[in-house]
Structure 1
């Protein structure tokens, strides 16, 4: 076999391996990092009218939105898994306060009437951050083994709800409030026994 054949064989093996890795990534919805991710165009690039300072603030605040997004999604998952295990598949209808169920039903209808794409098939995905903890409070017997202290949960949730305001309403946060957010999220995870 000639050197050129070895090089060609090596190159083909690499291409086959890369294709196999892409197949695995697609099949398991993971990123293995064998090729650099595609560069995505920022939505802001479509709107050059926005001021540079506002773009910089948005970029700085994005990480706190991401933190809150993850926190809220993990709370939804914790509630869903805990309630399904304790009360079964019909927990939403049986154990969620009526006012929250009415709110969710109305919101789903409002979004449908506006012609919006359904955001989720799960009702809990239509609740507000505060309502998630109303669900926990209404079902504390199922959560007291998870959280170390009910008053601590209430205090942390109240702090998080206040800290959520600037993030949800597109305002920059002061350094003190950023520190407070980071510490409060740490407190949240410390509470989970």
Structure 2
């Protein structure tokens, strides 16, 4: 007669083999998380959380992830460029330098920073520029064109590119899929942006 320990080990191994087979079936039929809902085979909490959502929505999100990454990288690059250019002209305290930032933008940024403090959440940044909108970034470049004209080829082109990017950003930021034409427009706008940099 088998000992209790042997029966328990046999049960455990059978269970592990069954889970492995079920995970293979999930993967083979693109059903991740639907058969073993709530299984603890993944150490990644976000991955387990994703399985709670409709597979069609997850698939759409997965396709949109690259455009979010592109836009995130572009927007951070634009912010860094603006900061670097203004810092090289006015020094580290350029944000506080008189007439560099339009007063209405400063007021809006202060309001947004205050909202985060009052909400008790972790502030997104200690840099005021990180609280500006995409449109405000364009306004900063435009209102300081004497500083940026050595960086970009054409003020009108930069304004047009930023307008197009801001329009495309809305779909990405508000979780709407990009149409095929808009994907092409995004790719061209990114190329246009880098082409503008002297």
Band the TM-score falls in, shorter-chain normalisation: 0.7 to 0.9
Partner residue in 1 for 2:54: 51
Map Cα deviations across residues 12-38 of structure 1 (whole Å, 9 max, x no partner). Answer: xxxxxxxxxxxxxxxxxxxxxxxxxxx
Give 1:44 shift.
Answer: 4.7
* Segment drifting more, 106-115 vs 43-52: 43-52
Runs (4+) of structure 1 exceeding 2 A deviation are 39-42
Name stretches of at least 5 consecutive residues in structure 2 with no aligned partner. Answer: 1-41
Rg larger for: 2
Corresponding pairs, count: 155
Map Cα deviations across residues 25-66 of structure 1 (whole Å, 9 max, x no partner). Answer: xxxxxxxxxxxxxx9736252143311000000000010000
Give the structure, 1 or 2, with the largest relative contact order (CA under 8 Å, sep 6 or more). Answer: 1
Q: Alignment RMSD, CA only?
A: 1.4
Name stretches of at least 5 consecutive residues in structure 1 with no aligned partner. Answer: 1-38
TM-score by length of 1: 0.77
Q: Give SS of 1:66's match.
A: helix
Counterpart among 80, 92, 98 of residue 89 in structure 1: 92
TM-score by length of 2: 0.75
Map Cα deviations across residues 77-131 of structure 1 (whole Å, 9 max, x no partner). Answer: 1001100111112211221111111111111111111100011111111111111
- Aligned partners of 2:50 and 2:58 also within 8 Å: no
Counterpart among 69, 72, 81 of residue 69 in structure 1: 72
